[in-house]
């Protein structure tokens, strides 16, 4: 569904991503784990066109994303829940969800009802300004906003960041549920254990390169992964 | 102060304030979206006024209603606003705020001097689009021109509020200043939103030109610079980047100016600015401004 080949990205003279290739098949949860600064977020931002690539190819289904105007990518039904949530703080919860459907307003109220059923907290707070929500609620809102676009695939960047262990569990079960409803997921996480536990496959990144890849269950048992990312 | 004098000053202040408010909206909308002070914005009043000066006789000769020249002014201002943004501002947007500021100042001087070459330095008299009588209401003289001007201003501001609250483009204009990346991710073409913002801001300046010319029917090539400066101050006073703040700031500056003029005619500008400085000392981010650092 999503295929990246030989991707290189840099910030000025600094190479952030070097010759990375990865693939996500329809229906999978694939996670991208690795230390802070390994380039995981940069990969997601490059897929969404927020960052320009130097070289390589990014294909989503039939479309070459490097040649796609960034604001048109959501119309291909590829959504992105960015790191740090990036909700619209001065808009209400409901307005934020409406913004999620900006590119495709068809059946908006039905989709919103679905989102509210999934996240009852959001429904309770729909008239509240999004900036006043707690971190966990903001993360739910960010996911809800992405779902409003009725995506086929979601790029999810550090959904567990800054959340309490209980909320981390909740957000991961939501991701799993979203995936079971047929949405493919590329997940970037520092919480490697949690990410691997819900993923089909995973890639391990180290300083801009992919150092390991494979079945999530096997990586969870791999001695090197255990040592480096699972603190065991 | 007698009631009638107070009332007269109140509506004069509201009239002046509504003009400042409409211009201040242009500054604040552009600042909100690209963090740039468009110093050339005031000159769009001049562009609007000259458009009306030249098109009113045309309309009259052609037997068409003269208010159509307001429409002409709105169209000319929007088009020039968009052209200025695309040709001069967009290329320097990445170069930092200082370059953008200097470009805007240069654009202001350019427009004023171009107008001098094209239209001459001699002040011209703009025919009034509407000329209503003054009626006597409960012993108070009510110039209907002023009332209509205030009304136009209120309608424009209410219309703008509804536009940004309810329409898709309006919502995009609100979301881009809040979070540019997230706006792109939900499918907003940020460049287009910026261009539309310039068009709307310039159109509001054209309406401000109509309101101004109804009161002072004189157009000069530099008429926009002083008006623009005061409207800019009004925008900062209300909290720059905040749309209701621009309206509030504009009305306040208008009221302060007219009432100070009443008591100390020769001093009114000095005292008006002194009051503004005091307000900003107490609340540096403006009356409706929130004290937040710039987001990185």
Region B36-41 average pLDDT: 92
Residue A217 — pLDDT band, cuts 50, 70, 90? confident
Region A125-153 average pLDDT: 93
Contact across the interface for A69 and B179, Cβ inside 8 Å:
no
Check whether B188 has a pLDDT greater than 60: yes
Residue A232: its pLDDT value, please?
Answer: 61
CB-nearest to A71 from B171, B179, B189 is B189
Residue A70: its pLDDT value, please?
Answer: 94
Residue A71 — pLDDT band, cuts 50, 70, 90? very high
Dihedral pair phi/psi, residue B140, rounded to 5°: -110, 135
Does A86 touch chain B if contact means CB atoms closer than 8 Å?
yes
Contact across the interface for B182 and A79, Cβ inside 8 Å:
no
Contact assessment for residue A10 and residue A22, using Cβ atoms and an 8 Å cutoff: no
Q: How far is Cα A220 from Cα A207, in angstroms, rounded to an integer?
A: 20
Candidates B186, B191, B239, B290: best to mutate against A (most CBs of A within 10 A) is B186
Residue A231: its pLDDT value, please?
Answer: 66
Query: DSSP code of B241?
Result: T
Candidates B187, B194, B239: best to mutate against A (most CBs of A within 10 A) is B187
Region A165-176 average pLDDT: 91
Domain boundaries along the sequence of chain A = 2-85+139-229
Check whether B287 has a pLDDT greater than 80: yes
Check whether A119 has a pLDDT greater than 50: yes
Contact across the interface for B181 and A82, Cβ inside 8 Å:
yes
**Per-residue pLDDT tens digits for A36-59:** 888 899 999 999 999 999 999 999
At A71, is the secondary structure helix, strand, or coil? helix
List beta partners, residue A2.
Answer: A24, A60
Percent of chain A with pLDDT over 70: 99
**Per-residue pLDDT tens digits for B196-226:** 999 999 999 999 999 999 888 889 999 998 8
Residue B291 — pLDDT band, cuts 50, 70, 90? low
Contact across the interface for B175 and A70, Cβ inside 8 Å:
no
Distances (CA, A) of B208 to A19, B16, B24, B109, B211: 56, 10, 10, 20, 5
Residue B263 — pLDDT band, cuts 50, 70, 90? confident
Element (H, E) at A6: strand A2-11
CATH number of the domain at A2-85+139-229, out of 3.20.20.70, 3.40.50.300, 2.70.210.12, 3.40.30.10?
3.40.50.300
Residue A32: its pLDDT value, please?
Answer: 94
CB-nearest to B181 from A50, A145, A149 is A50
Residue B1: its pLDDT value, please?
Answer: 65
For residue B224, the distance in angstroms to the closest alpha carbon of chain A comes to 33
At A80, is the secondary structure helix, strand, or coil? strand
Q: How far is Cα B40 from Cα B25, in angstroms, rounded to an integer?
A: 14
Residue B295: its pLDDT value, please?
Answer: 42
Q: Which of A171-185, B133-147, B258-272 has the highest mean pLDDT?
A: A171-185
Does A144 touch chain B if contact means CB atoms closer than 8 Å?
no
Check whether B84 has a pLDDT greater than 90: yes
Contact assessment for residue A201 and residue A216, using Cβ atoms and an 8 Å cutoff: yes
Residue B296: its pLDDT value, please?
Answer: 37
Check whether B293 has a pLDDT greater than 60: no
Closest CA to B16 of B269, B251, B273: B251
Task: Give the range among A173-177, B104-108, B133-137, B170-174 with minimum mean pLDDT.
Answer: B133-137
For residue A99, the distance in angstroms to the closest alpha carbon of chain B comes to 7
Residues of chain A with Cβ-Cβ distance to B178 below 8 Å are 88-91
Contact across the interface for B175 and A71, Cβ inside 8 Å:
no
Region A164-172 average pLDDT: 90
Residue A190: its pLDDT value, please?
Answer: 87
Q: How far is Cα B276 from Cα A169, in angstroms, rounded to an integer?
A: 53
Contact assessment for residue B258 and residue B12, using Cβ atoms and an 8 Å cutoff: yes
Candidates A49, A78, A83, A88: best to mutate against B (most CBs of B within 10 A) is A88
Check whether B70 has a pLDDT greater than 70: yes
Residue A198 — pLDDT band, cuts 50, 70, 90? very high
Residue in A with minimal Cα distance to B192: A71
For residue A173, the distance in angstroms to the closest alpha carbon of chain B comes to 24
Q: How far is Cα B38 from Cα B42, in angstroms, rounded to an integer?
A: 9
Question: B interface toward A at CB cutoff 8 Å?
Answer: 168, 171-172, 174-175, 178-179, 181-190
Residues of chain A with Cβ-Cβ distance to B244 below 8 Å are none
State chain A's mean pLDDT as an integer. Answer: 91
Strand A184-189, strand B124-125: pairing:
unpaired
Q: How far is Cα B228 from Cα B219, in angstroms, rounded to an integer?
A: 14
Q: How far is Cα B160 from Cα B222, in angstroms, rounded to an integer?
A: 27
């Amino acid at each position: 569904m999503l295929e990246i080949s030989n991707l290189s990205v840099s910030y000025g003279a600094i190479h952030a991503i070097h010759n990375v290739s990865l693939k996500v098949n329809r229906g999978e949860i694939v996670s991208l784990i690795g230390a802070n600064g390994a380039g995981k977020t940069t990969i997601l931002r490059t897929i969404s066109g927020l960052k320009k690539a130097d070289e390589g190819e990014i294909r989503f289904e039939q479309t070459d994303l490097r040649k796609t105007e960034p604001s048109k990518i959501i119309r291909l039904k590829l959504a992105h829940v960015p790191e740090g949530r990036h909700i619209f703080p001065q808009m209400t919860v409901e307005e934020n969800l409406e913004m999620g459907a900006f590119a495709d307003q068809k059946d908006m109220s039905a989709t919103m009802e679905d989102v509210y059923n999934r996240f009852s907290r959001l429904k309770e707070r729909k008239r509240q300004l999004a900036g006043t929500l707690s971190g966990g609620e903001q993360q739910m809102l960010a996911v809800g906003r992405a779902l409003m676009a009725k995506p086929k695939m979601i790029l999810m960047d550090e959904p567990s960041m800054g959340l309490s262990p209980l909320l981390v569990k909740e957000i991961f079960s939501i991701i799993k549920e979203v995936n079971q409803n047929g949405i493919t997921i590329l997940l970037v996480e520092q919480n490697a254990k949690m990410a691997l536990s819900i993923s089909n496959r995973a890639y391990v990144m180290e300083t801009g390169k992919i150092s390991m890849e494979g079945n999530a269950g096997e990586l969870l048992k791999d001695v090197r992964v255990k040592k480096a990312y699972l603190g065991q | 102060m007698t009631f009638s004098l107070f009332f007269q000053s109140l509506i004069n202040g509201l009239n002046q304030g509504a003009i400042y408010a409409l211009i201040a909206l242009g500054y604040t909308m552009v600042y909100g979206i690209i963090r740039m002070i468009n110093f050339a914005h005031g000159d769009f009043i001049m562009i609007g006024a000259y458009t009306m000066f030249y098109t009113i006789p045309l309309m009259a000769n052609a037997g068409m209603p003269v208010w159509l020249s307001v429409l002409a002014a709105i169209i000319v201002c929007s088009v020039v606003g968009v052209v200025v943004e695309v040709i001069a501002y967009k290329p320097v947007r990445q170069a930092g705020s200082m370059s953008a500021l200097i470009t805007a100042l240069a654009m202001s001087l350019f427009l004023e001097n171009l107008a001098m070459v094209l239209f001459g330095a001699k002040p011209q008299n703009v025919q009034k689009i509407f000329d209503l009588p003054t009626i006597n209401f409960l012993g108070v003289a009510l110039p209907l021109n002023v009332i209509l001007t205030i009304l136009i201003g209120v309608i424009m501001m209410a219309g703008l509020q509804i536009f940004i609250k309810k329409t898709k483009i309006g919502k995009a204009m609100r979301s881009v200043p809040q979070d540019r990346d997230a706006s792109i991710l939900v499918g907003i073409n940020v460049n287009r939103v910026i261009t539309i913002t310039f068009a709307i801001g310039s159109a509001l300046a054209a309406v401000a030109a109509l309101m101004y010319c109804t009161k002072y029917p004189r157009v000069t090539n530099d008429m926009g610079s002083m008006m623009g400066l005061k409207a800019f101050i009004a925008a900062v006073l209300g909290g720059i980047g905040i749309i209701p703040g621009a309206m509030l700031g504009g009305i306040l500056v208008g009221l302060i100016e007219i009432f100070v003029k009443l008591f100390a005619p020769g001093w009114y500008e000095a005292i008006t600015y002194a009051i503004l400085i005091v307000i900003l000392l107490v609340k540096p981010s403006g009356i409706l401004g929130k004290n937040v650092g710039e987001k990185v």
